[in-house]
Structure 1
Amino acid sequence: MFIVTAKCILIEGKTEEFKVIVETLIKETREENGCISYNLYQDINNQNILTFFEEWESKNSLDRHMNTKHFKDIAPKLRELQKEDSIVNIYNKI
């Protein structure tokens, strides 16, 4: 199993727009083969920090996800709302 965290630090005032855009990505990703869970959380101390926590059956499942049409269409729109690139970590369950 692979776990992914992707921390997004948003431009002030862009949080609600980000949440609206990301709804489709979350819905479609959860339906992908190999997706165990795919959730977005908001920092309780800073509403402009949103973090994805993802669980994937395999590295191949994760790779397929990053090549889906919905990911390729939506990810650039989400990046435009961020102060900087997401901080992404990928973990392999031991």
Structure 2
Amino acid sequence: MLVRIVKMSFEPSKIEEFLANFETVKQKIRDFEGCQFLELYRDHNNTNIFFTYSYWNSENDLNNYRHSELFKGVWAQTKVLFNAKPEAWSVNKIASLE
């Protein structure tokens, strides 16, 4: 499994637009082949910073999503709302405690 973490910083006046769009597309992203998990987080102190965490069966599945029409549409609507360059990491989960 591959975990994808994306950090996004938004123009404060654009946050509601981002959240509305995420609400519209979140289930489509989660239902994309190979996606096992999707969550959105908001920084506790810097409320214009958000993170997405998604779990993918493989790097190939993530890449298929990143090259899909769904991603292209989501990214086109999201990137114009940023106030800083987004950052992304692909990581392997080492341990999980519940």
- Compute the TM-score of the two structures, normalised by the length of structure 2: 0.88
1:9 aligned partner? 9
Measured on the aligned residues, the alpha-carbon RMSD in Å equals 1.3
Secondary structure of the structure 1 residue equivalent to 2:13: coil
| 1:21-51: CA deviation from partner (whole Å, max 9, x where unpaired) | 1223311011112111011111111210110
Say which is worse superposed, 60-69 or 23-32, in terms of deviation.
23-32
In the comparison of the two structures, how many residue pairs are matched? Answer: 94
Could you list the runs of 4 or more consecutive aligned residues of structure 1 that deviate by over 6 angstroms after TM superposition? Answer: none
The aligned amino acid for 2:21 is I
2:48 aligned partner? 48
**Structure 2 CA distance for aligned equivalents of residues 83 and 13 of structure 1:** 10
State how 1:82-93 maps to structure 2 within 5 Å: 82-93=82-93
**Structure 1 CA distance for aligned equivalents of residues 50 and 70 of structure 2:** 19
The aligned amino acid for 2:87 is I
State how 1:23-42 maps to structure 2 within 5 Å: 23-42=23-42
Whether the 8 Å contact between 1:25 and 1:71 is mirrored in structure 2 is no
- Compute the TM-score of the two structures, normalised by the length of structure 1: 0.91
Measured after TM superposition, the shift of residue 92 of structure 1 is 2.8
**Structure 2 CA distance for aligned equivalents of residues 18 and 41 of structure 1:** 13
Measured after TM superposition, the shift of residue 83 of structure 1 is 0.8
**Structure 2 CA distance for aligned equivalents of residues 84 and 77 of structure 1:** 15
Unaligned runs of 5+ in 1: none
The aligned amino acid for 2:53 is F
**Structure 2 CA distance for aligned equivalents of residues 29 and 71 of structure 1:** 8
**Structure 1 CA distance for aligned equivalents of residues 68 and 55 of structure 2:** 17
